[in-house]
Structure 1
Amino acid sequence: MRGRRIGAAAMAAFSVLGAAGCGIAGADEVSLADKDRLVIGVNKDQPGVGLRTAGGGYEGFDVDVAREVARRLGVRAADVTFKEVTSATRQRMIRGGDVDLVVASYSITPDRKRQVAFAGPYYIAHQDILVRGDSPIKNVRDLRGRNLCMVQGSVSYERVTKEKGVAARLVPATGYADCFGKLTAGQVDAVSTDDLILAGLAAQTAESGGDAADRPRIVNAPISDEGYGIGLRLGDADGCVAVNKAITGMYQDGTAQRLLAKWFSPVGLKFTTTVPQFEGCD
């Protein structure tokens, strides 16, 4: 094992950058900050965010963030393994030790923080709505009585039906790629989730050409802020601090901004380029 724990001086300097306190790792468990190899959970069906390629690899903004964080933790690219996760399996795979980290459009919520720890957020996304080009839907209230895609394990549909009190009809789907297929096939009227995910989905039809009026479009009526965190084992204080330090460095040297532009400038998404306020991993 290669020691990479953050010393007291580094901890103090990092606290100035807004890191919150983290829990205490068990004495018998190895912090990810001390690992020479990492298994990182990523999505496989979110274009522009986390996508399994035809060659068997992974690509997207989250995947690039994961690689960059691993590099800044001192782990060689050859020693990073990506493993597929879904909205329904992320917590279980972290708690079971199947993955060391999860970088998968993983919104930080109070319920999730009781099961796993979060570093970051590394980006603040905004929940929005994707509809067909000819749709009359203009905002979340227009979803009342309409078919809304529901991905198990996601909190996005609950923000529409519970937090906003909109009585949409929920149509189950296995993931957001499945939601997109249901949208274009007319089986659902809308997909509501984070704007980065929606932008990646919309980009697929933009790249294929055709009549712009027929392409799915983002409504541009945000209904919430979504802090994307990096999930890790509950109580890994050293791992939390090390990952937060890596995220801070990515924003300070322009890496985060470059990756956002790489994946989302082509679809015209107005993304945030300032370092988010960290929540810590308590």
Structure 2
Amino acid sequence: MKLRKVTAASAAALVLALTATACGGDSKDDDTSSSASAGSGGGGKIKVGIKYDQPGLGLKKPDGSFAGFDVDVATYVAKQLGYQPDQIEFVETKSADRENALARGDVKFIAATYSINDERKKKVDFAGPYLLAHQDLLIKSDSDISKGTDLNGKKLCSVVGSTSAQNVKKTIAPDAKLKQVSSYSECIAGLQSGAVDAVTTDDSILAGFASQDQYKGKFKLAGLKLSNENYGVGVKKGDTATVDKINKALEQMVSDGSWDKAVKDNFGPANYKNEPAPKIGVIVPNAS
């Protein structure tokens, strides 16, 4: 009888252990596909893609913390999904790897100067847009450049592979002297030293650099609005539930004033004349 009792007890313990193991296996702290409710007090984490090297937008600081408009947007959205700041793991997602990062499930969503266009929409879904940026020029505060044609004969800097500089040469200033480098930081340093006369890319990116302490008051945006860049939050293709939740979070961010505060905090020192917060689902096309 004692043997049967011990055996029964052992069997019961085994069943309980297996049940606990099975339940534990369904919960991963770093599960990027966790629902918003899983983040609400459940100890889960959410992985979010951002840039690490764009001041004012997505920047990893020397102390390991993160700052920028995209970071503020991502943090606000994650909170609306049920995650506190200490439950967010920011993952560097460079431009060339954004679609793959979402497809692999490396991140739940991406907020990284991710312009919405038809080609990208074939591979990922977008919430937003949450910012309307424009291609522009960054010039010295005392520069006499006031229109695109003023760049003829001047030195224009952009990064290798950028379409921004090519756009200027093809449509505005064919005689601009193009200098291509590996990073916008190099362009900004060249602008400061006088090695180049202007830097071109999205005005939000330029404003972020100009807002850095060492550059405050030295540069200005030309305000040319050479293109429309509708920044969206990238989500894995087919994940419409997450898109809907993020859209609601973005609407809330605008309505409660957090969006305006984030713009001023991150771009204010550059006197960035931002567009009003865009309407969800409304894409502003480029002029044909």
| TM-score w.r.t. length of structure 1 | 0.76
Per-residue CA distance 1:9-56 (angstroms, 9 max, x = gap)? xxxxxxxxxxxxxxxxxxxx9586676432111122222211111101
Q: Where does residue 223 of structure 1 map in the other structure? A: 226
Q: SS where residue 229 of structure 2 aligns?
A: strand
> Paired residue for 2:96?
88
Aligned to 1:268: 271
1:131 & 1:261 partners in 2: Cα distance? 21
- Choose which of 191, 198, 204 in structure 2 pairs with 1:196: 204
| Match among 252, 256, 261 for residue 259 of structure 2 | 256
What RMSD over aligned residues (CA atoms) do the two structures have, in Å?
2.9
Offset, 1:265: 2.9
Q: Matched residues, percent identical?
A: 38
Using a 3 Å threshold, how does the CA distance of structure 1 residues 94 and 224 change in structure 2: closer, same or farther?
A: same
Instruction: Indicate how the Cα distance of structure 1 residues 89 and 152 shifts in structure 2: closer, same or farther if over 3 A, else same.
Output: farther
C-alpha contact 1:88 1:154 (8 A) present in aligned 2: no
**Whole-Å Cα distance in 2 between the matches of residues 32 and 166 of structure 1?**
50
Rounded to whole Å, the distance in 2 between the matches of 1:142 and 1:56 is: 41
Which residue matches 1:26?
A: none
Q: Select the structure with the greater relative contact order (CA < 8 A; seq sep ≥ 6).
A: 1
Q: In 2, distance between residues paired with 1:111 and 1:35?
A: 33
Aligned pairs for 1:118-267 (under 5 A) are 118-152=126-160, 154-162=162-170, 164=171, 166-167=173-174, 168-204=176-212, 207-208=213-214, 215-267=218-270
Amino acid at match of 1:51: L
Q: Does the 8 Å CA contact 2:115/2:229 hold for their aligned counterparts?
A: yes
Deviation at 1:120, TM superposition (A): 0.5
Secondary structure at the residue paired with 1:257? Answer: helix
Amino acid across the alignment from 2:124: V
Residue pair 2:135, 2:200 contacting (<8 A) in 1 also: yes
Structure with more helix by fraction: 2
CA deviation after TM superposition for structure 1 residue 234, in Å: 1.7
Return closer, same or farther for 1:134/1:106 CA change in 2, 3 Å cut-off. Answer: same
Q: Check conservation: 1:105, 1:229, Cα contact below 8 A.
A: yes
Structure 1 pair 142/234, CA: closer, same or farther in 2 (3 Å)? Answer: farther
Of the three residues 101, 106, 112, the one matched with 2:114 is 106
Give 1:56-71 correspondences, 5 Å limit.
56-71=64-79
When residues 263 and 111 of structure 1 are mapped into structure 2, their CA distance, relative to the original with a 3 A threshold, is same
Separation of aligned partners in 2, 1:180 and 1:170: 14
User: CA separation in 2, counterparts of 1:113 and 1:87?
Assistant: 15
Q: Which runs of 5+ in 2 are unaligned?
A: 1-25, 40-44, 284-288
Q: 1 CA distance for matches of 2:153 and 2:238?
A: 43
Cα pair 2:127 2:280 within 8 Å, conserved: no
Q: Is the 8 A contact 1:87 1:152 kept in 2?
A: no
- The answer on whether the counterparts of 1:100 and 1:233 sit within 8 Å (CA) in structure 2 is yes
Secondary structure (helix, strand or coil) at the match of 1:198 reads helix
Is residue 50 of structure 1 aligned with residue 53 of structure 2?
no
Q: Secondary structure at the match of 2:252?
A: helix
Give the Cα–Cα distance (whole angstroms) in 2 for the partners of residues 120 and 58 of structure 1. Answer: 22
> Quick check: 1:133–1:216 contact (8 Å CA) kept in 2?
yes
TM-aligned CA deviation for residue 274 of structure 1: 3.6
Residues 50 and 112, structure 2, Cα contact 8 Å, conserved in 1: yes
- 2: CA distance, partners of 1:194 / 1:136: 21
Report which of the two structures shows the higher radius of gyration computed on alpha carbons: 2
* Conserved 8 A contact 1:45-1:176: no
How far does residue 155 in structure 1 lie from its aligned partner after superposition? Answer: 4.4
Change (3 A) 1:135 1:208: same
